[in-house]
Amino acid sequence: MPSLVVHYAFVGLLAATLLGAAFDKRSLLLSILVVTFPDVDAFLGLYWQAGHRAATTNLVIPAVLALLIGADLYLRDKSYIKRRWGAYGVRVSWFCVVVYAVGHVLLDLITGGANLFWPLYDQFYQLSGHLELSSQRGIVQTFVELPEPRAQTAGGTGTGGSGGSTTQSMGNSSEVQMSTGIDPNPGQPEPETVDRVFPIARSGWELVVLVVGTLATAIRLRIGHDLPEE
């Protein structure tokens, strides 16, 4: 699972490319706070079954946040966000929804799994697979299981088959307990010599995201978004 610093670097990269003129130290700090919040469930897991990657690492919370922002912007006669922060606040508000859902939850989904719809539906999922273009088979993907076209047989009937999805349903919160540096052995007695591991980068792609995202964020903070005068 990605470390917080990988989440920060990824969100910095998103901010540098998506926020445009709204990118500054204040919006970047808010984005970092938002992407940190889902990991609160690592502490909740010490006392509650629906712990890490469930209680706050789900898509329900950013969906509710999006509904609240949309109601303020489009249903109220006078939007609080527009009145208080103007166009800057509108862009940053929507970006915070993206940060929560993409910068944390979906990143966790591909690196160990997440309880996407908790508490509405208690089930952990992990997204894995591949997408490729084959000269013999055309476009081949294994992320989502699709029924194969029914092949015609001599008798005029055919049978379908599985698309070979590798996306996994892992179990509910009573069956899946995620290990963290805070709680290395969830549901088990903690030995005196417990090894608390707080990862930085656990794979090559995480290291690339960490380096590139950090550099992109630092450069954007340094040079801004305006072209230099001739």
Give 183 or 79, the one with higher predicted confidence. Answer: 79
pLDDT for residue 194: 86
In the predicted model, what is the mean pLDDT of the chain? 86
* Contact call for residues 125 and 167 (beta carbons, < 8 A): yes
Residues 79-115 have pLDDT tens digits of: 999 999 999 999 999 999 999 999 999 999 999 899 9
The predicted structure's pLDDT at residue 52? 77
Q: How far apart are CA 41 and CA 43, in angstroms?
A: 5
197-223 pLDDT tens trace: 888 998 999 999 999 999 999 999 988
Measured CA to CA, the distance from residue 170 to residue 93 in angstroms comes to 33
What per-residue confidence (pLDDT) applies to 22?
A: 94
- pLDDT for 150: 55
* pLDDT given at position 90: 97
**pLDDT over 90 percentage in the chain:** 59
CA torsion angle for 102, 105, 110, 113 (degrees, to 10)?
Answer: -170
Q: What is the pLDDT of residue 189?
A: 79
Q: Would you state the pLDDT for residue 201?
A: 92
Residue showing tokens 């990143």: 107
On the question of pLDDT at 166 being above 70, the answer is no
Question: Per-residue confidence at 163, pLDDT binned at 50, 70, 90?
Answer: very low
Residue 195 pLDDT > 70: yes
- φ/ψ of residue 170, rounded to 5: -95, -20
Q: Is the pLDDT of residue 71 over 90?
A: yes
Domain boundaries, the chain: 4-115+177-223
Q: Distance (Å, rounded) from C-alpha 17 to C-alpha 95? A: 11
pLDDT of residue 180: 81
What pLDDT does residue 230 have? 55
pLDDT reading at 227 higher than 70? no
Q: What is the pLDDT of residue 44?
A: 84
How does pLDDT run across 113-161, given as a tens digit for each residue? 999 999 999 999 999 888 999 999 999 988 877 666 554 444 444 444 4
pTM, to two decimals: 0.85
What pLDDT is recorded for position 147?
62
